[in-house]
């Protein structure tokens, strides 16, 4: 496939944005995923967009591990909710 010729600075093809987002977060499979990645491989803007999305999502997923201090988790585990229950809906 030949690469689409246009500036790399700019938004992705309008009809591709949702498909590229779903390809980046892993929520698409099969034909949808193939179409998005095949398009991104030949379209410079969409290729760049997909790479940026994957990078951002990867950073978000890996950053969460540090976020809950052990002392907080311990207090939450032993909170008053463990001794409370009734039939009243929330």
Partner 1 sequence: MHTAAIGIRGYVSDHSGPNRRLDFESVCMAELPVLYRVAKRLTLNGDDAEDLVGSALLKAARGWAQFDGAHPRSWLIRILRNEHLSVLRKSNLKSEATLEDISEPSDDGFWEEIAWRAVGDDIFRALDALPVEYRMAVTLCDVEEMSYEEASAAMDVPVGTVRSRLFRGRRLLRARLVHSADLEAQIEEAGR
Query: Which positions lie near partner 1, rule CB under 8 A?
Result: 8-10, 17-18, 21, 25-27, 48, 52-53, 55-57, 59-61, 63-64, 66-69, 72-73, 75-77, 79-82, 84-90
Residue 68 Cβ vs partner 1, minimum distance, rounded to whole Å: 5
CB nearer to partner 1: give 5 or 64: 64
CB nearer to partner 1: give 1 or 8: 8
What gap in Å lies between CA 71 and CA 67, rounded to an integer? 12
What DSSP assignment string belongs to 34-80?
A: HHHHHHHHHBHHHHHHHHHHHHHHHHHHHHGGGSS-HHHHHHHHTSG
What gap in Å lies between CA 12 and CA 37, rounded to an integer? 13
CB nearer to partner 1: give 42 or 75: 75
């Amino acid at each position: 496939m030949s690469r689409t010729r246009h500036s790399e600075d700019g938004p992705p093809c309008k009809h591709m944005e949702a498909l590229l987002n779903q390809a980046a977060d892993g929520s698409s499979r099969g034909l949808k995923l193939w179409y998005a990645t095949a398009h991104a491989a030949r379209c410079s803007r969409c290729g760049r967009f997909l790479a940026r999305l994957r990078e951002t999502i990867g950073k978000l997923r890996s950053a969460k591990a540090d976020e809950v201090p052990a002392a907080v988790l311990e207090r939450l585990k032993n909170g008053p909710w463990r001794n409370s229950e009734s039939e009243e809906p929330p």
